């Protein structure tokens, strides 16, 4: 039997995880001399490359010294914790990658906690030791303190450490001795990551992932814990609820390099894909046909946020999208539920609206952006935090927030967070910068990032992770400025925009098509203001000096999808189409909005 190592790579966003995986693939000689794979080999998704983060967990394997190493690349962002939780079940060890300057970050803690609870031993890689002002020894101590605070066992605390620079392609056991390859890391994986402990017994495999092939359909992916799997072998599928169904494995695949290779038999300990089993979900067990035994299912943290997804009913409905009906949206959300473990969808009292629950604004915005690129048109409501009643007490999700920013701007940041019911936990100087740690309700984080970046001239680096549910903290002040709302359908005329610039900041370009009820800017005052920017200049046969000066328009503010979702108020939607993002009022006509206000008060 071939020796196998299954290792998951854990790291915070921007610590060099995907770059390290690239170098490991090159060291495993997956590419011929004539091939030039480029960078970010594993981040194949368009959004992953654009955002510079890993969103989907992926498997790849290399051969080194006669051993097969299955590498599982995990997301570093806490919003994609659902991906992390399930793939860690396939690993026998974790490679914890930490920046030699920044040290362990909040989301490193989040994923590491999951790994330690599963009993996985860490192999620590301190990356970017070629950075100026880096402190590898201090970071090593910080990693030890992190493990200790997470109640790691003595064996887990006695972790081996490798130092190096993934970008420059070297690793070493001593950060002062630069080598010319990353082989010391691969040797450490063979030495310290244990082979899968194969128990005695018949076939058992936990479904930890689902892959969909347009040629053959759904495939169950997981690590074969014990026994063997053979093509056309009769099996039993055991659901999370314990319901048993007879099944058969029609085809089996294992990972080699980036691809899957069809095999007749899979040995215990290897990660494989099974085709032919029907009706499986993540967390189900594929077991022996005669004496089936279920494995413990995957526990998933609950969602903390919800948004309303509804059909686009604006005057521009159907102009840009291909899938626009409620049936299209419902089918797409149902398909997403199969592979996105942390997602939940509920139907509402309206057939056109669906309430979608997720881990955070980024988690749901990635789904919205994916749907948008596939040709869907829809409208999204304001993110709402999930509030529970526990033992008669109203409770809400609370997060740990870390802000890294220049020392002289710390007062501004502390003031902004405390206004949103945040409590400061610590303040750690780091050269000319300072790291602030807070505990803050999830409600307070919505819309904080863009305000924080504006107040700190883009210097602040914000990270946050869900901590627990705590008693409700009271009201948090929302957006102070009202909206500028279009009065008419038509084109935005530069002359009108110029005359109304003192009213606030615009979100639209000159000559852009707009409609009644669209939010086209932010009012400089608190109330909403309805304005007409479709009015053209009246022509006369008189000429006067100075009247025809060129209009100087302030460039409009353009939102990313996340910024738009965090910006809108409760009575507004983000209209999402394949080509545009627009903000609009839920009720487009002013008379309807006023009638609604009268009913409320």
Contacts of 592 (CB under 8 A, 6+ apart): none
CA distance 59 to 223: 11
C-beta neighbour count of 64 within 10 angstroms: 17
- SS3 for 140-167, per residue? HHHHHHHHHHCCCCHHHHCCCEEEEECC
- Closest by CA to 222, choosing from 281, 310, 292, 145, is 281
Kindly state the DSSP code that residue 311 receives in the 8-state scheme.
-
Query: Does the annotation flag 230 for ligand binding?
Result: no
H or E segment to which residue 465 belongs: strand 461-471
Instruction: Give me the sign of the Cα torsion angle 40, 118, 203, 189.
Output: positive
* DSSP code per residue over 487-538: -SSEE--HHHHHHTGGGEEE-S-TT-EE-TTEEEEEESSSS-EEE---PPPP
Please check whether residue 118 is in contact with residue 92, taking contact to mean a CB–CB distance below 8 angstroms. Answer: no
CA distance 289 to 234: 6
Q: Is 128 annotated as a binding residue?
A: yes
Is 16 annotated to bind ligand? yes
What gap in Å lies between CA 461 and CA 482, rounded to an integer? Answer: 28
Tokens of 194: 């244990």
- To the question of whether residue 549 is assigned a binding role by annotation, the answer is no
**Which of 476, 477, 538, 533 minimizes the C-alpha distance to 504?**
533
Alpha-carbon distances of 107 from 78, 110, 316, 353, rounded to whole Å? 6, 5, 40, 33
Three-class SS of residue 590?
helix
State the pairing for strand pair 3-11/93-99: parallel
Does the annotation list 39 as a binding residue?
A: no
Handedness of CA 567, 305, 445, 14 (dihedral sign): negative
Q: Is 14 annotated as a binding residue?
A: yes
Vertex 100: Cα angle to 99 and 101 (nearest 5): 90
**What six digits make up the tokens of 407?**
């020392």
> Which residues have a Cβ under 8 Å from the Cβ of 480 and sit 6 or more positions away?
526
Q: What is the DSSP letter of 451?
A: H
Three-class DSSP category at 438? strand
Cβ(10)–Cβ(115) below 8 Å: yes
- To the nearest 10 degrees (0 to 180), the angle between helices 410-419 and 448-455 is 150
Burial grade of 131 (CB within 10 A; 0-12, 13-18, 19 or more): middle
Q: Is 547 annotated as a binding residue?
A: no
CA pair distance 201, 287, nearest whole angstrom: 11
The answer to whether 121 is a known ligand-binding residue is no
Please state the residue numbers annotated as binding site: 14-19, 127-130
Please state the residue numbers annotated as binding site for GTP: 14-19, 127-130
């Amino acid at each position: 039997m071939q020796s196998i190592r299954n290792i998951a790579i854990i790291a915070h966003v921007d610590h060099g995880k995907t770059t390290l995986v690239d170098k490991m693939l090159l060291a495993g000689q997956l590419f011929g001399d004539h091939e030039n794979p480029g960078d970010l080999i594993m981040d194949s998704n368009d959004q992953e490359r654009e955002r510079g983060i890993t969103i989907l967990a992926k498997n790849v394997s290399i051969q080194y010294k006669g051993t097969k190493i299955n590498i599982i690349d995990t997301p570093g962002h806490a919003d994609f914790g659902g991906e992390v939780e399930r793939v860690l079940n396939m690993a026998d060890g974790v490679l914890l990658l930490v920046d030699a300057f920044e040290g362990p970050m909040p989301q490193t803690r989040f994923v590491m906690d999951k790994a330690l609870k599963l009993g996985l031993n860490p192999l620590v890689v301190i990356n970017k030791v070629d950075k100026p002002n880096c402190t590898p020894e201090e970071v090593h101590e910080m990693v030890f303190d992190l493990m200790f605070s997470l109640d790691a066992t003595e064996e887990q605390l006695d972790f081996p450490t490798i130092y190096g620079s993934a970008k420059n392609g070297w690793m070493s056991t001593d950060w002062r001795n630069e080598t010319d390859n990353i082989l010391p890391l691969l040797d450490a994986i063979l030495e310290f990551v244990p082979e899968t402990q194969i128990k005695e017994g018949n076939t058992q495999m936990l479904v930890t992932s689902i892959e969909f092939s347009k040629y053959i359909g759904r495939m169950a992916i997981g690590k074969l814990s014990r026994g063997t799997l053979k093509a056309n072998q009769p099996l039993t599928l055991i659901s999370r609820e314990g319901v048993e169904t007879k099944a058969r494995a029609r085809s089996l695949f294992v990972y080699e390099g980036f691809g899957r290779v069809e095999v007749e038999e899979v040995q215990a300990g290897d990660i494989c894909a099974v085709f032919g089993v029907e009706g499986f979900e993540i967390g189900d067990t594929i077991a022996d046909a005669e004496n089936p035994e279920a494995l413990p299912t995957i526990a998933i943290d609950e969602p903390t946020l919800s948004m309303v997804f509804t059909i686009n009913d604006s005057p521009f409905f159907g102009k840009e999208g291909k899938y626009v009906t409620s049936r299209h949206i419902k089918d797409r959300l149902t398909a997403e539920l199969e592979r996105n473990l942390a997602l939940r969808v509920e139907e509402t009292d309206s057939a056109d609206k669906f309430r979608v629950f997720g881990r955070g604004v980024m988690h749901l915005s990635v789904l919205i952006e994916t749907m948008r690129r596939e040709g869907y048109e829809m409208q999204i409501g304001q993110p709402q935090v999930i509030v529970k009643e526990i033992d008669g007490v109203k409770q809400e999700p609370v997060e740990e927030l870390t802000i890294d920013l220049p020392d002289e701007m710390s007062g501004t940041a502390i003031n902004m967070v405390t206004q949103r019911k945040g409590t400061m936990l610590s303040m750690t100087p780091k050269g000319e910068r300072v790291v602030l740690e807070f505990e803050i309700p999830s409600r307070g984080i919505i819309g904080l990032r863009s305000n924080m970046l504006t107040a700190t001239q883009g210097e602040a680096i914000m990270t946050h992770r869900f901590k627990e549910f705590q008693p409700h903290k009271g009201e948090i002040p929302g957006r102070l400025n009202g909206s500028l709302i279009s009065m008419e359908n038509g084109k935005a005329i530069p002359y009108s925009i110029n005359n109304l610039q003192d009213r606030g900041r615009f979100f639209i370009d000159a000559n852009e098509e707009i409609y009644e009820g669209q939010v086209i800017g932010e009012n400089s005052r608190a109330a909403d203001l309805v304005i007409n920017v479709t009015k053209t200049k009246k022509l006369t046969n008189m000429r006067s000096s100075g009247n025809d000066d060129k209009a100087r328009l302030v460039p409009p503010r353009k939102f990313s999808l996340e910024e738009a979702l965090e910006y809108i108020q409760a009575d507004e939607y983000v209209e999402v189409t394949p080509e545009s993002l627009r903000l609009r009022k839920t009720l487009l006509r002013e008379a309807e909005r006023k009638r609604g206000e009268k009913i409320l008060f």
